[in-house]
Amino acid sequence: MPQANLQNTLVLRVLEDGTRDKQGRPRTSCVIVKPNVADVDDGQPRDSGDRSSTDSLPISENDALFLRCILQSQNDYGTKPPPELALPRSIGVVVDYDCVKRMMFTKMLRDDDNTDEGRARHRERTKSAIKRARTRLMHAKVIGCHDPFVFWTGRPVRGIKETQKNDPSLFDPPAAMLS
């Protein structure tokens, strides 16, 4: 195919989503991407989505925004989990889910959302974005929910510095306070 025609061409790539079906086989999904001209029809196997070489999980921008809202809310408004939740000791902070939703609504606000129609679109857009992000992150075991609380499970996520093991935690006290 001539290179000039590749500008309007899209490629369907199959990626594993990081989950497994009942038989233990990896689940896959397809994404439409612009091709890398150098790798189109080069006979090389495509990225299968296997991320075993790294512990961190890749997520979408919307999911990352939702996780950042959870982390920031835990840092600003988090509380110790009530004993009746029976969460693992590694979950030291939980936050009210409504607090996270309010923060997400604020962060997803656009300039064109200042009319009545725009506010209605914003409300629906944000509600569906929150629902999708919550479902995907819970399925990937990045977050946990125990009504009315939500919390980060400790699983590292690619692109979010606070979740990486080798970076200082969002919840660690400053070094000056330790001495």
- Confirm whether pTM is higher than 0.75: no
Q: How far apart are CA 44 and CA 106, in angstroms?
A: 44
Q: Where are the beta strands (DSSP E) in the chain?
A: 11-20, 26-33, 95-96, 143-146, 149-152
Could you read off the pLDDT tens digit of each residue along the chain, which spans 179 residues?
Answer: 445 454 567 777 777 777 778 887 888 877 777 665 434 333 434 444 433 334 567 788 888 899 999 999 988 998 898 888 888 888 889 999 999 999 988 888 877 777 888 888 888 888 999 999 999 998 988 888 888 899 988 888 888 878 776 655 555 555 544 54
Q: How far apart are CA 166 and CA 136, in angstroms?
A: 25
- Write down the domain spans for the chain: 3-39, 61-178
Q: What is the pLDDT of residue 106?
A: 87
CB contact at 8 A, 161 and 170: no
